[in-house]
Chain A
Amino acid sequence: MSDYRKDYLSKTLAAVILGLGIAFAGSALIAWGTPGGPAAPNKFQFVMWVVSPLWTLVLALVYLFRNGRRAWLVLSLANLVLFGAYLLIRFLHS
């Protein structure tokens, strides 16, 4: 397969925007899905910290996608799954 396209702009934008979504949804899942909920003492700092590795991981690896469209597609799906899981957790907690 040699249909790899660089698509720098498209992939970078996908990672900046959708990667941010993944990072925040991931941090929200950790806040609500681990023991003690979001108000557990001093957990909020850890919850903030995980945003950095999650977001930058997506940013660094996005160029592995075959093309920009695929990056948008897969990362959008990841957002849907993560935010869906978060809504589910919040629903179960309410």
Chain B
Amino acid sequence: MRSNIIRAYKGVHTWTGILTGLALFIAFYAGALTMFEESLERWVAPPGRHAQTPLVQADALIAAALAARPEAAKQFTLHLAETAPLGRLTWQKGRDDAQPWSAELDAAGELQLVRLAPGGVAQFVDTLHRTAGIPGDHEIGETAMGIVSVVYVVALVSGLIVLLPSLIKDFFALRVGRNLKRMWLDAHNLLGITSFPFHLLIALTSVIFCLHDPIYALQDPLIYDGKFRQVTASSGVLAQAPKDPAAAPMLPVQALLDQVAELEPGFQPSAIEYRNAGTGGAVARVIGDDPRYLVRNVGFVVLGAVDGRILNTDYLPGHQGSWSAVVAAFFAVHFGTYGGETMRWVYFLLGLGGAFVFYSGNLLWLETRRRKAKAGELPAQARASRWLAAGTVGTCLGCIAGVSAMLVVGKWWPGVAPETVYYLVFLFCVAWAFIAGAPRAAVQLGWLTALATAALPATSLLAWLLPDSGLWWHAPAFGVDLVAAAGALMLAWAAVAAGRRARGGDADSVWAQPASSQPLPPSGRGPASACQE
């Protein structure tokens, strides 16, 4: 009976994995990049867009901005970091406004208003992470990814069950050699098992991030007798805010920060979000981080901006109720918002490793279904195999190439919308993979992806060599160039390996380039290798 169960779970693992693998590859690749999304934004953005106004002039800036633009009083954000990327003070017209306004005081103390360029690359990488690039309303993409996440939990647990009996034997084995399938399987298992806890936490939290609305909707009649709105309102962070529309002077920024420091000296504020500024009901949400705690994506404390009274500490690390603290921990393990820079890199690598697990899973599916050559006769590989091979190559390489191209184009031509570049490159790669067939596309798209990624450090190098070119590079974003250079080298190595496999590998592989003497399989007929390097 035991072996029957294992066999059943093998089937479950195979099909759940194949169904979700490609969407998860995109989500993980983009998710890994979100760990450094500020650096990416920084890499693309022209110099001088970060905050100019010294923090000591913040009060004068707020007064001047509100006098010039009274509509900003409803809600604006004061950024506290020395070099806040968006500027010192920003506000949006409504929630979906992709072009926030930014206010600064110039050297003469005059107010400067700028409308920021639309939709930054960081925002698109984040969207890509949450929706896997499913176009249309974000809610559609997120709901779809919620279902993908549910299936992904099943894939994870089933994978563990399949591996359990041979775990001790196979765990640290990485049999590199002639048996390619064995090697891919070992790599898939080794990475999968070592990062299993990470994957499980990511999967379980993703289900919630994507499906919280329908879950709340079902719980409303079941648990709250239809009074869910009242329950959330009484837990709301602004529930204690005074309702007073009469004009009233606000405390200086420093006084608010002192108040927070007195309450919790370990809290490190990074921004203050004001609401109803200049009225008796003005509130200041001081947003920040506390490295000693598992912080939600951010922590914050709400104060009255007029009297400095503490109004809500439900999201201030160390001052939360136990329910909030547990939920904050769920958030933290997804976003990697604990343990500082070290965990940021760990999450980056785990994210990339996760993408590799999904990619290798698809390769294993293909190897398992290989139609072997018998007595010198070469069978055609199944259409499903050829399509999955093309889809895997096109999606994975298209995603990487699309993001790289988006960053580079964003720097050379700042007006171009990032998502346009991404989708053009991604869809081209997927289409080309099916037109040219997996063996050729793996090599050609491999080189394309390596070149697109190498274009990042190349652009920075050019900017450094030719300062008059109008290009720019930022020392603080130099890490982006280093990582991109390393990534480009690895992609180039993979492209070389794919070429070797296509020409000299097993002829009965779905990756083997059909010899010219043989008739080409129907979907393997590409236009004469025009793109061949």
Chain B residue at minimum C-beta to C-beta distance from A3: B1
Q: Which of B5, B219, B228, B323 contacts A63 (CB 8 A)?
A: B5
Binary contact readout B215-251 vs A (1 if CB under 8 angstroms, 0 otherwise): 1101100111000101110110000000000000000
Stretch at the interface among B7-15, B88-96, B113-121, B181-189: B7-15
What per-residue 1/0 map shows which CB atoms of B406-439 lie under 8 Å from chain A? Answer: 0000000000000000000000000000000000
Partner of B235, one of A32, A44, A53: A44
Let me know if A42 and B11 touch, CB within 8 A.
no
A51 cross-chain contacts in B, Cβ below 8 A: 208, 215, 219
A residues less than 8 Å from B303 (CB atoms): none
**Contact pattern, B 176-220, Cβ under 8 Å of A = 1, otherwise 0:** 000000000000000000000000000111011001100110110
Q: CA of A2 to CA of B235 in the docked complex: distance in angstroms?
A: 54
Alpha-carbon distance between A62 and B330 when the two chains are bound, in angstroms: 25
Is the pair B153, A41 in contact by a Cβ cutoff of 8 Å? Answer: no
Are the C-beta atoms of B232 and A44 separated by less than 8 Å? yes
Q: Which one of A31, A46, A56, A60 lies within 8 Å of B207 (CB-CB)?
A: A56
> By the criterion of a CB under 8 Å from any partner CB, how many residues of chain A are at the interface?
34
Chain A residue at minimal CB-CB distance from B209: A52
With A and B bound together, what is the CA distance between A44 and B11 in angstroms?
Answer: 37
Chain A: minimal CB distance from B256 (Å): 24
Q: Are A63 and B12 in contact (CB under 8 A)?
A: yes
Task: Confirm or deny: A48 has a beta carbon within 8 angstroms of a beta carbon on chain B.
Answer: yes
A53 to B205 Cα, complex, angstroms: 9
Given contacts A6-B11, A53-B204, A59-B154, contact A64 B321 (CB under 8 A): no
Contact A28 B8 (CB under 8 A): no
Known: A42-B314, A64-B5. A52 touches B207 (CB 8 A): yes
| Cβ–Cβ contact A46 & B323, under 8 A | yes
CB distance from A47 to the nearest CB of B (A): 7
Q: Smallest distance from the beta carbon of A49 to chain B beta carbons, Å?
A: 6
Do A46 and B234 touch across chains, with their CB atoms under 8 A apart?
A: no
B218 touches A24 (CB 8 A): yes
Count chain A CB atoms within 10 A of each CB in B8, B156, B330 and give the residue with the most: B8
Report the bound CA distance from A26 to B127 in whole Å.
32
> Chain B residues near A6 (CB, 8 Å)?
8, 11
B219 touching A47 by the CB < 8 A rule? Answer: yes
B465, chain A: closest CB distance, angstroms: 52
Confirm or deny: B327 has a beta carbon within 8 angstroms of a beta carbon on chain A: yes
Considering the chains assembled together, what is the distance between the CA atoms of A41 and B235 in angstroms?
5
* B270, CB-defined interface residue at 8 Å: no
Interface check A92, CB cutoff 8 A? no
B323 partner, pick from A4, A28, A42, A60, beta carbons under 8 A: A42
Q: Are A60 and B231 in contact (CB under 8 A)?
A: no
> When the two chains form their complex, are residues B330 and A41 in contact, meaning their CB atoms are under 8 A apart?
no
Contact A41 B323 (CB under 8 A): yes
Tell me if A41 and B204 are in contact (CB < 8 A): no
Interface size range on B against A: 35 or more
Contact A60:B222 (CB < 8 A) given known A42-B327, A46-B326, A48-B212: no
- Judge whether B494 is part of the interface by a CB distance below 8 angstroms: no
Say whether A52 contacts B204, CB under 8 Å: yes
Among B495-520, those with CB < 8 Å from A are: none
**Which of B156, B211, B223: most chain A Cβ within 10 A?**
B223
Bitwise interface map of B from 320 to 353 toward A, beta carbon under 8 Å scored 1, else 0: 1101101100100000000000000000000000
CB distance from A22 to the nearest CB of B (A): 13
Give chain B nearest CB distance to A70 CB in angstroms.
13
> Known contacts A48-B215, A60-B154; is A32 also within 8 Å of B223 by CB?
yes
Residue from the list A1, A38, A63 in contact with B231, Cβ < 8 A: A38
- Pairwise interchain contact B321-A59, C-beta atoms closer than 8 A: no
Name A45's closest neighbour in chain B (CB-CB): B327
Is there contact, CB below 8 Å, between B1 and A1?
yes
Q: Answer whether residue A55 sits at the interface, using C-beta atoms and an 8 A cutoff.
A: yes
- Chain B's nearest CB lies how many Å from the CB of A66? 8
Interface residues of A in 17-52 (CB under 8 A from B): 24, 27-28, 31-32, 38-49, 51-52
A9 interface residue per 8 A CB criterion: no
B1 surroundings in chain A (CB, below 8 A): 1-4, 66
B5 to chain A: which residues have CB within 8 Å?
4, 63-64
Within 8 A of B (CB), among A48-81: 48-49, 51-53, 55-56, 59-61, 63-64, 66
Minimal Cβ-Cβ distance residue in A for B320? A42
Check A28–B150 contact: CB distance below 8 A: no
Instruction: Please tell me if the beta carbons of B12 and A49 are within 8 angstroms of each other in the complex.
Output: no
In whole angstroms, how far apart are the Cα atoms of A38 and B222 in the complex? 11
Closest residue of chain A to B2, judged by CB?
A4
- State A1–B5 Cα separation when bound (angstroms): 12
Q: Which residues of A contact B320 (CB under 8 A)?
A: 42
Q: Which residues of B contact A28 (CB under 8 A)?
A: 219, 222-223
A3–B1 CA distance with the chains assembled, in angstroms: 7
What is the minimal beta-carbon distance from B323 to any residue of chain A, in angstroms? 5
> Can you show 23 pairs from A to B with CB atoms below 8 A apart?
A2-B4, A4-B5, A24-B222, A27-B219, A28-B223, A31-B219, A38-B223, A39-B230, A41-B321, A41-B323, A42-B235, A44-B219, A45-B327, A47-B219, A48-B216, A48-B219, A49-B327, A52-B205, A52-B207, A56-B150, A56-B153, A59-B154, A60-B157
Which residues of chain B have a CB within 8 Å of any CB of chain A?
1, 4-5, 8-9, 11-12, 150, 153-154, 156-158, 203-205, 207-208, 211-212, 215-216, 218-219, 222-224, 228, 230-232, 234-235, 314, 320-321, 323-324, 326-327, 330
A interface residues with partner B (beta carbon < 8 Å):
1-4, 6, 8, 24, 27-28, 31-32, 38-49, 51-53, 55-56, 59-61, 63-64, 66
